[in-house]
Structure 1
């Protein structure tokens, strides 16, 4: 009897009026979705046989895609789970969705949309502006980076979600604006492209080109040492990207293996120009203490004026590490010992460090010049290194 059902339901407290769940299929089709609307009030132990509580709205413009069996599976799972719950709160709802996700294919996404959800608590498969978050790629002090898909273009991007609590600080706003302005300038095949940004949205973000591949640090971790022919190929691409940036008046200032990505087709992409600087046109220098200790130039460690020669030094350390499997200077966790080694110690012979892995003397000579303590004794420009390396490309490419 419907009246009896309604009378019983009126006695129940703290039950949500409805629960909206969206299911989206990510198989490169167009606009396919299933919306399931559930009224938990009607799912009680006393009325398990009441089946009309589920309303299914099916919007499938492509007739060849049949999601009905999956929808039935979802409906059964949701009905069972809600039948077991008397009082739903946010934590319990999250647990339900996690269980439902386990039932879905890897490329399907299930979420609850809450209008008052804090941008600081974004979870996988949530929606930010025009992007669906697919997978967390990394977390830093200032942002979280996700693999995401633009729901309009279907393009996959690396979406940098900026920590909102930092965005109220003037220094941080200046840094993000600097990153955006620099990335607008940089359009080179070996530099990650910025595709989109929005700083005025509820969740500030910057969208970058997504690279299907590995970081150089990951490759070195797997291989320990990288063959000379492969190193030369990567080396030249990095030099060309840096030479382009330097000609635009931009120095990276934090070049390290983590910021160098290698695509599956061996194309190199330099990323993270977040602390880069445009060289002052009057002074031709910048002065800030930034960088990663194991790859910082002596002038950076001393907090002195820096220019493109600091990037050349950092790259020299990276190339040395690629070929030998070790850093040229102190590898202690004591940051002061590392700084001291960069400023005063001479690098160990690459051939001694490499042990059985032979490095030609002419290649080692180039590396040593790149990591000279005095910037005046280093290569002054990246194109000079390219010119010296070019004759060796054919010689060593097959070795």
Structure 2
């Protein structure tokens, strides 16, 4: 437990932005609080407060630096980090993940969660472990256990609490600090050697055995086979057994190797609605960004961004449309109409809603980073035309960059010119949209750019409403990337109603 008292209590404002609401948890050398964002009304974050001596503070700073460098949909996103020098406290502001731990989920099913959920969970854990272990400097989590895995109401997995993770150093024979949770930590974490990727794989094996035995066992001991649930597929047992070998060289050597082993059995093939991530079939859990850039003023970027947002909202859920320009006026005019505000007046809130799409007007890049840490499935960025460096960077890093330009004969070279000006940047994922363009213009531009993702957008007078022609084009543009949208709930909660 923390030896020093916390400075935080209900109502305390941290970093001049985050108001503490309640305590989420306490353990080790830190406390975690829920906080509301004073700059983004309605947004909540988890604030981790660490108070320790000078030596331990170095570990906390190292944790912050490591987390900030990571980017994966199943890892907590760090949005702020600061220190309070007088008290020696350090604060990490990160995603608040709504849901419950795997441990609580297991208890909700009296130890017998549906066996068909075990393999998908394993694949999700392996996906994030593969990401961590294949960094330029591999990251070893070292504390994989049911209480450090969060499940959202949509059954999306998140890995939390990087308190004892470390960067792997090949020149070391063993760890300087021996940490881990008894029952889930690999033998080498108790002094037998240095932890590496195979240590995390041991912990995964312990979790799988724990799930398969209804929470009774996490270590492979004599007679444990008799406690494995009868409905668990037999193909999984040798995988767990190999993960739990005492000597690292006898285990699977990488997360990718385990993934391939699981995929060899047709019994583990995913349902058709699941998406493929890095060759592994998993349901996508992160936020995807669509950036809409106009080639020139009046090219229809905002109109297209609105149409795309409402299309995605009808087929997915939780969509934000962001006006990434601090002086733009389009969303302000729209908000005045939606909220019936008198002309010339400006609402105090920069967020408003139209048919399930959250509109964010005159938004800064810092606010976009905060929104990325939220629960939106898609964020559509309206970049306008002639973007500055920051907006251009957001376009280049987006998952789905959309360039909107005129298909008129005398203006089509504007798009070709934009593509040439950024030829040093990869453009394979760019999409070019030409409102009201004839088929000949589309074919000509495809040939000139040597790029097949060029689309003619049909006449669409009301971008808020569904139009069959526009939907048909956007179906093609977003083919294979709209996630499965059936609302899921924790099964045992439904039974209790």
Normalising by structure 1, report the TM-score. 0.61
Q: C-alpha separation between the residues in 2 aligned to 1:177 and 1:244?
A: 22
Give the one of 102, 127, 133 matched to 2:13.
Answer: 127
Q: Indicate the residue corresponding to 1:234 in structure 2.
A: 121
1:354 aligns with 2:228: yes
Q: Is the counterpart of residue 379 in structure 1 residue 266 in structure 2? A: no
| Mapping 1:309-320, distance limit 5 Å | 309-320=198-209
Deviation (angstroms), 1:268: 0.7
The answer to whether the Cα contact below 8 Å between 1:131 and 1:148 also exists between their aligned partners in 2 is: yes
Cα distance in 2 for residues equivalent to 1:260 and 1:347:
28
Question: Equivalent residue for 1:171?
Answer: 55
Q: Aligned residue for 2:78?
A: 194
Q: State the alpha-carbon separation in 2 of the partners of residues 393 and 242 from structure 1.
A: 23
SS state of the match for residue 6, structure 2?
A: helix
Q: CA deviation at 1:281?
A: 4.5
Instruction: For residue 393 of structure 1, report the CA deviation from its aligned partner.
Output: 6.5
Q: Deviation string for 1:163-188 (max 9, x for gaps)? A: 3xx2xx22211110111121022211
The structure-2 alpha-carbon separation of the partners of 1:283 and 1:195, relative to structure 1 and needing over 3 Å to count, comes to same
Is the Cα–Cα contact under 8 Å of residues 257 and 318 in structure 1 kept in the other structure?
Answer: yes
Contact 2:150 / 2:158 at 8 angstroms: preserved in 1?
yes
How much does 1:159 deviate? 0.7
1:292 aligns with 2:165: no
Within-5 A mapping of 1:184-333? 184-200=68-84, 203-223=89-109, 224-248=111-135, 249-283=138-172, 286-328=175-217
* 1:97 match: none
Q: Deviations over 1:125-167 (max 9, x none)?
A: 322221011221111231211111121123311111223xx2x
Q: Is the 8 A contact 1:158 1:207 kept in 2?
A: yes
Distance 1:245 1:286 in 2: 18
Output the CA distance in 2 between the equivalents of 1:255 and 1:161. Answer: 21
Contact 2:263-2:269 within 8 A present in 1 as well: no
Greater RCO (CA < 8 Å, at least 6 residues apart): 2
User: In 1, are the aligned partners of 2:101 and 2:147 still within 8 Å (CA)?
Assistant: yes
Is 1:148 the equivalent of 2:35? yes
> What secondary structure does 1:295 align onto?
coil
Distance 2:195 2:268 in 1: 35
Shift of 1:310: 0.6
Contact (CA 8 Å) 1:328, 1:347: kept in 2 or not? no
Name the residue aligned to 1:162.
50
Partner residue, 1:11: none
The answer for the alignment partner of 1:19 in structure 2 is none
Cα RMSD of the aligned pairs, angstroms, is: 2.3
Deviations 1:21-41 (A, max 9, x none): xxxxxxxxxxxxxxxxxxxxx
The C-alpha deviation readout for 1:94-153, integer Å capped at 9, x for no partner, is xxxxxxxxxxxxxxxxxxxxxxxx983432232222101122111123121111112112
Secondary structure of 1:123 counterpart? coil
Shift in CA distance, 126/261, structure 1 to aligned 2, threshold 3 Å: same
- After superposition, what is the alpha-carbon deviation per residue over 1:327-353, rounded to whole angstroms, capped at 9, x for unaligned? 435xxxxxxxxxxxx6xx635444x21
Contact 1:285 1:307 in 2 (8 A): no
Closer, same or farther: CA 392–146 of 1 in aligned 2, 3 Å: farther
CA offsets per residue over residues 69-95 of structure 1, 9 Å max, x none?
A: xxxxxxxxxxxxxxxxxxxxxxxxxxx
The whole-number CA distance in structure 2 between the counterparts of 1:152 and 1:201 is: 24
**Runs (5+) with no aligned partner, structure 2:** 272-497
Alpha-carbon displacement from aligned partner over 1:184-220 (angstroms, at most 9, x marks no partner):
2221111111111102466531011111111111111
Deviations 1:239-261 (A, max 9, x none): 01011001111001111111111
Taking the aligned partners of 2:173 and 2:148, their CA distance within structure 1 comes to 25
Counterpart CA distance in 2 for 1:231 and 1:295 is 17
Distance 1:393 1:233, change over 3 A: farther
Q: Could you say what secondary structure the match of 1:321 adopts?
A: helix
Shift of the alpha carbon at 1:225?
1.9
Equivalent residues of 1:287, 1:304 under 8 A apart: no
Q: How many equivalent pairs are there?
A: 261
SS class of match (1:294): coil
CA shift for structure 1 position 275: 0.9
Rounded to whole Å, the distance in 2 between the matches of 1:290 and 1:176 is 15
Contact 1:134-1:147 within 8 A present in 2 as well: yes
Partner of 1:83: none
Q: Distance in 2 between matches of 1:276 and 1:382?
A: 17
Q: 1:28-107 maps to which residues of 2 (within 5 A)?
A: none
Say whether the 8 Å CA contact 1:227–1:323 is kept in structure 2.
no
